[in-house]
Copies of this chain bind each other. A is one copy, B any other.
Amino acid sequence: MRITVPVPLRWGDMDAFGHVNNATAVQLLEQARVDGFFSSGREVRDVVVARHVIEYLVPIPYTHEPVRIVMWLARVGGSSIEVNYEIRSPDGAPDVLHAKAATVVVFLDPVAGAPRRLSEAERADWAAFVDEPIAFRRG
């Protein structure tokens, strides 16, 4: 199941080239995870990002309308999930695929600070979001 999370831009997201800065785009992915996955029920606490891959296809201009981040899981592992994303133009605008990305999120034991096993209930919860892994242009 793929979900679409509207993520508002800020004027200050633009860099000196007049587009959303590439590092800021990684912040947008974080906000999509927080709004889409880690709002109610699932908590952002006690997770850590282990890896990002992001491909920039078309520069993101500043727009008053939120960009759409389409988000799903490529994989539910023993103690991690792999989130996949497409950053797309705002709802109502001509559809543009601006970027593709993938993030490995690891779940931590808050006491030990080390990775912990996902429970069966958690795995079943996350499994609903699994869909075909994103295809990057470069391996």
Residues of A within 8 A of B (CB): 8, 10-12, 14-16, 18, 21-24, 26-27, 29-31, 34-35, 39, 44, 48-56, 59, 62, 64, 104, 136, 138-139
Contacts and interface: CB of A to CB of B under 8 A. Distances in A.
A-B CB proximity, top 4 nearest: A23-B26, A14-B16, A23-B27, A22-B49
Contact of A16 (B18, B50, B56): B18
B12 A14 contact: no
16 contacts: A8-B8, A10-B31, A11-B44, A12-B21, A12-B23, A15-B16, A16-B18, A22-B30, A23-B26, A26-B52, A35-B64, A39-B64, A50-B56, A51-B55, A52-B52, A104-B138
B55 A50 contact: yes
B15 A51 contact: no
A80 to B, nearest CB: 10
Contacts of A12: 15, 21, 23, 27, 30-31
A104 B55 CA distance: 9
Which of A8, A11, A49 has the most chain B CB atoms inside 10 A of its CB?
A11
Contacts of A26: 22-23, 26, 52
A34 B51 contact: no
A15 B53 CA distance: 21
